[in-house]
Amino acid sequence: MDRIGTWIACLCLVFAASCASERPEPKWRDGEVAAASENVLWEVSVLALDKEGYPVGAGLDPAKGIAVSGWKSSLAPFKGKGWRARAHVKYERTAPGRYKLEVRVEKETNEDLVRPLDPTYADWQPAPDDPERAGVLLQRIRSYLGGEIDVAAPPKSRTNR
C-alpha cells in the first residue's frame, strides 16, 4: 500500500511540473544610437513608450538605464486571442555620445474560457515575445533622436518627354 502512495505522489509531481508555464526565451532587438546625453536618451525612451501605448510607471530606473513599462492589454472574446504586452528598454554607453539600445516586448495571452473579456478573471499565460513590436519601438526611439539616414543609391533622375 505504501508503494501505491509513492507512485501517486510521483505522478502528481510530474503532472504539476508539466502544467507549470515556462516563460519563452526573451527576444531582444538592439541597435546603436547617437544621443546628446543619457538624459536625452532617457526622455526619448519614455516618450516612445508612452506614444506606443505602454503605461509608464514604477518600472523606470534612469540610474541603471532600464525602463520596464506596465502592461498594455487587448482583450478578445475568444480563448487565447486576448493579449497583454510589456516593453523593456535598456541602454548602455559604448562611446561618448553613442549608446547600445536594447528593446524587448514581453507578451502573454489570456487563456480564460468562461469570461475572456473580463480582466479580473483573466488567466494570463506566457507567450513568445513580439519582436515586431520591439522593432517598432526601437525605430520610434531612433526617429525621435534623428539619427543618420543611410542611402543605398541616389534616386534615378526623371526625364521629361
Report yes or no: 86 and 71 within 8 Å, Cβ to Cβ. Answer: yes
Domain harbouring 135, CATH code = 3.30.310.80
Number of domains within the chain: 1
pLDDT of residue 160: 59
Q: What is the rounded distance in angstroms from the CA atom of residue 34 to the CA atom of residue 92?
A: 12
pLDDT of residue 1: 52
- Residue 161, in any domain of the structure: no
- Residue 151, in any domain of the structure: no
Domain that holds residue 126: 22-145
Per-residue pLDDT of the chain (161 residues; tens, 9 = 90+): 566 655 555 444 444 444 445 889 999 999 999 999 999 999 999 999 999 999 998 899 999 999 999 999 999 999 999 999 999 999 999 999 999 999 999 999 999 999 999 999 999 999 999 999 999 999 999 999 986 655 555 556 666 55
Collect all residues with Cβ–Cβ distance below 8 Å to 74 and sequence separation of at least 6.
82, 83, 84
Which cell numbers hold the place of 42?
532617457
pLDDT of residue 152: 55
- Residue 83, in any domain of the structure: yes
Longest CA–CA span in the chain (Å) reads 97
Collect all residues with Cβ–Cβ distance below 8 Å to 108 and sequence separation of at least 6.
83, 84, 85, 124, 125, 126, 127
pLDDT of residue 58: 83
- Residue 132, in any domain of the structure: yes
Nearest to 62 by CA among 89, 100, 31: 89
- Residue 105, in any domain of the structure: yes
Q: What is the rounded distance in angstroms from the CA atom of residue 32 to the CA atom of residue 97?
A: 10
The residue type found at 27 is K
- Residue 152, in any domain of the structure: no
Angle CA 100–104–108, to nearest 5: 170
